[in-house]
C-alpha cells in the first residue's frame, strides 16, 4: 500500500474541522497509520516548504503555519496520493469543486484548511520530515477485503 502525508493547517484546526476531515478520508476507505497534534518548529516548516523559501509569500506562510497547532497525519491506501488530492480539492478553494474539503470549507488560497502531498516522492519526503519510521503503524482494516480487488 502507498502512503501520503496530510496536514490540517492552523485554520482548519481553529475551525474545528479535524473530525470532519478524518471522517471523509476514513469513509473513502483510507487508513490512518500515524497522527500527531502540535505547533510546528521553524526547522521543520523550513524543510517542509523548502521549494518556497525564496518566494515572496514564504515569510507570511511561515508565520501562519507556526501560528497555531496543526494535525499531522499519514494515510495509507492504494493510490492514496491521488485519492487524497481528489478528496481535498484544488489548492485554490475558489476553484475547488463542491463536495471536496477545500470546496466546502475554504475561501482564500492563503487559508485553504489542509495540505496533502502532491506525488509519491513528495509524500515520502514529507512523511520523513515529520515522522520517524517507528511512529508509522501497520495493521489491517476490517473492511479491506471489500475495499480492494486483490
Q: Could you give the residue numbers annotated as active site?
A: 115
The three three-digit cell numbers of residue 3, written as one number: 502512503
Chain position carrying cell 510546528: 40
Residue 23 exposure: Cα atoms within 13 Å on the Cβ side: 5
Rounded Cα gap, residues 140 and 18, in angstroms = 23
Mention every residue, 6+ apart, whose C-beta is less than 8 A from residue 74.
3, 4, 5, 6, 32, 33, 34, 35, 127, 131, 136
Count of Cβ atoms closer than 10 Å to residue 22 Cβ: 18
Chain position carrying cell 496543526: 70
Rounded Cα gap, residues 7 and 3, in angstroms = 13
Amino acid at each position: 500500500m502507498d502512503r501520503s502525508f496530510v496536514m490540517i493547517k492552523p485554520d482548519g484546526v481553529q475551525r474545528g474541522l479535524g473530525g470532519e476531515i478524518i471522517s471523509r478520508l476514513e469513509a473513502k476507505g483510507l487508513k490512518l497509520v500515524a497522527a500527531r497534534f502540535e505547533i510546528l518548529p521553524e526547522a521543520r516548516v523550513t524543510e517542509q516548504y523548502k521549494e518556497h523559501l525564496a518566494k515572496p509569500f514564504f515569510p507570511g506562510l511561515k508565520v501562519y503555519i507556526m501560528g497555531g497547532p496543526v494535525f499531522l497525519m499519514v494515510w495509507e491506501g492504494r493510490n492514496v496520493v491521488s485519492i487524497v488530492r481528489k478528496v481535498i480539492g484544488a489548492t485554490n478553494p475558489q476553484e475547488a469543486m463542491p463536495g471536496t474539503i477545500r470546496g466546502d470549507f475554504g475561501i482564500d488560497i492563503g487559508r485553504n484548511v489542509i495540505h496533502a502531498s502532491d506525488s509519491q516522492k513528495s509524500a515520502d519526503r514529507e512523511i520523513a520530515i515529520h515522522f520517524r519510521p517507528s511512529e508509522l503503524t501497520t495493521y489491517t482494516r476490517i473492511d479491506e477485503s471489500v475495499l480492494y480487488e486483490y
